[in-house]
Amino acid sequence: MDVAKLESWLEENGEPKYRAAQIRQAVFKDHVSSYDEIATLPPALRQRLSRELPILSVSQDRLEISRDGRARKAVLRLADGRLIETVLLKPSPARLTTCISSQVGCAIRCSFCATGLMGFARSLSAEEIADQVLFWRQHIGCHGIEGSLTNVVYMGMGEPFNAYDAVAESLRRLTDQRQFAMAARRISVSTSGVAPKIARFGREFPQINLALSLHAAEDGLRAPLVPLNKAYPLKALAQALRDYLKATNRKIFLEYVMLQGRNDSPQNARALVRFAKSCGPLPLLHVNLIAYNAAVPGHAATPEPEIRRFQAALLKEGLAVTLRQNLGRDIHGACGQLLVSESQNVAAPAGRGAGAGSEGVR
């Protein structure tokens, strides 16, 4: 739902201005999934809009629900036929969080991440990014799921800062009171470390949370895990985080996936504390430890007792540390597991509708 596109379509078609407000109310507040549900619109207008300007730019291809019912993963088809994944999580009874994608695949190719194996196809548009949130709002309404969608994390497929302009525009839409009206403080963007964009993001979106996918705090160890480290080593990242803190004075989240025998030793914990101290005051840094979800051969999860020991070592040095809840493992919807196979993920030939842009959710 691109409001600017909708408004110009209505104007070009001689419709009164208040139609846009009626449609915005129905889509963003009532979460209708079809123009047919908007009783205030004349039937002929509903039909034309359904044909020419579908509410969603994405359509559901598949949906999986975890055994415990706390995670849902949707494979969404884009207008060009390509596929992305997006996840809805229920970390607590009242709270629903969606993890959304910013690109089809990812060029960063982190060694432990399934999305990295896909390679990179293209970045999403602002509309395709924001429509993942709209998709889940409709889904929650249609399926009577308890709770409301309060949090959005840009931690799905892709590196958000490699699609900076589209991500920035999607953030403006999500926080626009006339559209999604989401609280900026409940939105988080995660980067693998595109240093030049970090300070810019702080200046442009000081209320939105920043997470850095750190995973190792020594260059020699981080570069094989997160190849972007070669372009932006830890020294450059620490400088970018200092600039970010100066601009926002807001807490930064350091994400750290625990890989057995790779980054989980006491020495690795000490390096992490040193890195955090080089970025800014420790109360402004928060470490999220993530138990590794089997995604790529050659990597194994650190056993939980060792994760606890690692956590204790960080706590002792004054760092705030939490263990991230791992939801949706059984449907491959957890951190690092999002993947659409190459054979499925091809663009439709030009001019052939691929099914995307259909209204509604199933």
Nearest distance from C-beta of residue 216 to ligand SF4, angstroms: 13
* Long-range CB contact pairs, 344-350, < 8 A, 24+: 344/83, 345/82, 345/83, 345/104, 345/105, 345/118, 345/121, 346/81, 346/82, 347/80, 347/81, 347/82, 347/121, 348/80, 348/81
Beta bridge partners of 77: 59, 83
Size of the site for ligand SF4 (CB under 6 A): 13
Nearest distance from C-beta of residue 215 to ligand SF4, angstroms: 9
Residue 167 lies near ligand SF4 (rule: CB under 6 A)? no
Q: Please say whether the beta carbons of 217 and 272 come within 8 A.
A: yes
Q: Quick one: which of 88, 106, 240, 269 contacts ligand SF4 (CB under 6 A)? A: 106
Q: Please say whether the beta carbons of 291 and 323 come within 8 A.
A: yes
- Of 133, 47, 166, the C-alpha closest to 361 is 133
Q: Has 142 been annotated as catalytic?
A: no
Cα–Cα separations (whole angstroms), residue 343 to 61, 86, 296: 15, 19, 18
Q: Which stretch binds ligand SF4 (CB under 6 A): 5-13, 71-79, 108-116, 280-288?
A: 108-116
Which listed residue (15, 85, 159, 255) is catalytic?
A: 85
Q: Which stretch binds ligand SF4 (CB under 6 A): 126-134, 144-152, 154-162, 194-202?
A: 154-162
Residue 158 lies near ligand SF4 (rule: CB under 6 A)? yes
Closer CB to ligand SF4, 96 or 106, in the complex:
106
Tokens of 200: 């810019």
**Contact characters 313-352, ligand SF4, x per CB under 6 A:** -----------------------x----------------
Residues within the interface to ligand SF4 (CB under 6 A): 106, 108-110, 113, 115-116, 157-159, 192, 213, 336
Catalytic residues: 85, 335
